[in-house]
């Protein structure tokens, strides 16, 4: 039977440097809270048998968010926020496996592939501790990994004790420990003189002095270990993960004309042979079919679905709506809370007014309808199959199938020949 680990996520800190009122670990990255990226990866790994989250700052809010999304995650509380070593020590009783994987909740760029390889490396090396490290060409405020003349890791120097470094091996803050060795020694860590906190990194020096085996696992892509401590860090992480997601889409046959100006979310689904033009924003829970055209300057908001062959063009917004096959909505239009039938044309400047100031309302537009330029559809509304609205119409009442309406408010003009 393959060995397994208890995964321990440290999520107790305040992180004053992000300057936000909400907990840092709930800040969104590609439409998903930072800590969710970590939990997603852990849930996908056979090596991980249980997940424990250490909470502190605004613990109720963080715990509630996690419980809504995930089952089986356990929690422990660090009432006094006095360092990562004390956070780990708080979780001692909940660590059931003989090995423990320790991660920080603010390192969402670490991939499941790297974590899988790392845990496997830990077991194969039979180390008492393994650390994910990275080589940074640019300056970094991550802790520096120190090695002795034989290449053995002997210590980690935290950023509070050194100036920012360049071209050095740095600590990711992700570890695998033999549980007995960890908890036998964690109480020996002393408070840092400057920060007055107990740093987990200090245990590496303790292990070294006891001749316990400490191994480093250096990642090829240093961006995986970037932590989110400031808004600038978050912005950089957004660029990195956005490019990853776009690369995945392109690998599946989606044409992204300019990846640098196209923005997608963690669960964006786009079919083969669809073309996405620049300055397009696609939010979470969006599905776009094959052979579609989206953008430029399009905003596809959450819970929208665009089916095969549809075209959504310049300066358009689709919000919580379904556009069925071959719908054309090419210019300066907004549809919200709307279902648009197959082969319907949405003319330039069309607006579905779905909000009355208090509530959102739904609209249904039938198949093969023609919505004239500048039409305003006041929701709730229903426009029938093969119906036409004249340019500049304001639709305040249901429009029957096979009819033409014009005016403000829109009124019946004539019948339309059935297709």
* Tokens matching residue 148: 């002795």
Q: Angle at Cα 87 formed by Cα 156 and Cα 95, nearest 5°?
A: 105
Tell me, yes or no, whether 140 and 35 share the same domain: yes
Find how far residue 354's CA is from the centre of its chain.
28
Note whether residue 269 is domain-resident: yes
Question: Distance (Å, rounded) from C-alpha 182 to C-alpha 91?
Answer: 12
* Tokens matching residue 168: 């050095």
Tell me, yes or no, whether 169 and 223 share the same domain: yes
Tell me, yes or no, whether 255 and 161 share the same domain: no
- Tally the domains of the chain: 2
When pLDDT is cut at 50, 70 and 90, the band that residue 97 belongs to is: very high
DSSP, collapsed to helix, strand or coil, labels residue 405 as strand
DSSP states of 111-159: -HHHHHHHHHHHHHHT-SEEEEEEEESS-B-SPEEEE-TTS-EEEEE-G
Tell me, yes or no, whether 68 and 141 share the same domain: yes
Question: Distance (Å, rounded) from C-alpha 367 to C-alpha 380?
Answer: 18
Tell me, yes or no, whether 211 and 301 share the same domain: no
Tell me, yes or no, whether 220 and 276 share the same domain: no
Tell me, yes or no, whether 263 and 158 share the same domain: no
Quick: pLDDT tens for 183-195. Answer: 999 999 998 888 8
When pLDDT is cut at 50, 70 and 90, the band that residue 162 belongs to is: very low
Give this prediction's pTM.
0.91
Query: 399: domain CATH number?
Result: 2.160.10.10
Tell me, yes or no, whether 152 and 295 share the same domain: no
DSSP, collapsed to helix, strand or coil, labels residue 63 as helix
Query: 153: domain CATH number?
Result: 3.90.550.10
Domain containing 223 equals 5-231
For the chain, the maximum distance between any two Cα atoms, rounded to a whole number of angstroms, is 92
> Does residue 357 surpass a pLDDT of 70?
yes
* Tokens matching residue 263: 């923005």
Question: Distance (Å, rounded) from C-alpha 40 to C-alpha 26?
Answer: 14
Quick: pLDDT tens for 35-81. Answer: 999 999 999 999 998 999 999 999 999 999 999 999 999 999 999 99
Note whether residue 246 is domain-resident: no
pLDDT at 363: 98
Note whether residue 242 is domain-resident: no
Note whether residue 237 is domain-resident: no
Express as a percent the part of the chain with pLDDT over 70: 96
Q: Which residues are catalytic?
A: 331
Q: Which residue bears the tokens 């210590």? A: 155
Tell me, yes or no, whether 150 and 74 share the same domain: yes
DSSP, collapsed to helix, strand or coil, labels residue 181 as helix
Which 8-state DSSP code applies to residue 258?
Answer: -
Note whether residue 70 is domain-resident: yes
Tell me, yes or no, whether 84 and 198 share the same domain: yes
DSSP, collapsed to helix, strand or coil, labels residue 206 as helix
Tell me, yes or no, whether 25 and 112 share the same domain: yes
Tell me, yes or no, whether 312 and 352 share the same domain: yes
Beta strands 381-383; 363-365: pairing state: parallel
Residue 210, number of CB atoms within 10 A of its CB: 12
> Does residue 302 surpass a pLDDT of 80?
yes
């Amino acid at each position: 039977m393959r060995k397994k680990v208890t995964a321990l996520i440290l999520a107790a800190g305040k992180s004053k440097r992000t300057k936000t009122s909400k907990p840092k670990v709930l800040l969104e990255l590609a439409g998903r809270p930072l800590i969710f990226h970590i939990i997603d990866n852990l849930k996908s790994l056979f090596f991980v048998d249980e997940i424990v989250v250490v909470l502190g700052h605004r613990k109720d809010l963080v715990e509630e968010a996690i419980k809504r999304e995930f089952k089986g995650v356990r929690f422990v509380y660090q009432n006094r926020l006095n360092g990562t070593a004390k956070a780990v020590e708080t979780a001692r009783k909940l660590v059931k496996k003989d090995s423990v994987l320790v991660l920080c909740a603010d390192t969402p760029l670490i991939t499941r592939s790297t974590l899988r390889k790392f845990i496997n490396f830990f077991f194969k090396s039979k180390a008492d501790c393994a650390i994910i490290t990275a080589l940074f060409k640019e300056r970094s405020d991550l802790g520096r990994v120190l090695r002795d003349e034989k290449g053995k890791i002997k210590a980690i120097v935290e950023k509070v004790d050194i100036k920012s470094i360049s071209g050095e091996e740095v600590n990711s803050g992700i570890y695998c420990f033999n549980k007995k060795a960890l908890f036998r020694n964690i109480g020996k860590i002393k408070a840092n003189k400057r920060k007055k906190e107990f740093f987990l990194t200090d245990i590496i020096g303790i292990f070294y002095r006891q001749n316990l085996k400490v191994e480093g696992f250096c990642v090829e892509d240093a961006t995986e270990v970037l932590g989110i401590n400031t808004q600038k860090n978050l912005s950089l992480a957004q660029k990195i993960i956005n490019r990853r997601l776009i690369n995945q889409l392109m690998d599946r046959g989606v044409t992204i004309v300019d990846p640098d100006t196209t923005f997608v979310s963690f669960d964006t689904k786009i079919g083969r042979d669809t073309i996405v033009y620049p300055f397009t924003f696609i939010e979470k829970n969006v599905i776009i079919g094959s052979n579609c055209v989206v953008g430029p300057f399009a905003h596809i908001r959450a819970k929208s679905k665009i089916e095969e062959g549809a075209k959504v063009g310049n300066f358009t917004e689709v919000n919580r709506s379904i556009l069925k096959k071959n719908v054309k909505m090419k210019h300066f239009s907004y549809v919200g809370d709307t279902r648009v039938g197959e082969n319907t044309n949405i003319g330039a400047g069309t607006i579905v007014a779905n909000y009355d100031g208090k509530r959102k309302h739904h609209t249904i537009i039938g198949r093969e309808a023609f919505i004239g330029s500048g039409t305003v559809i006041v929701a709730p509304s229903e426009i029938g199959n093969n119906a036409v609205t004249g340019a500049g119409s304001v639709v305040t009442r249901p429009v029957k199938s096979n009819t033409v309406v014009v005016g403000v408010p829109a009124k019946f003009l004539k019948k339309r020949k059935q297709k």
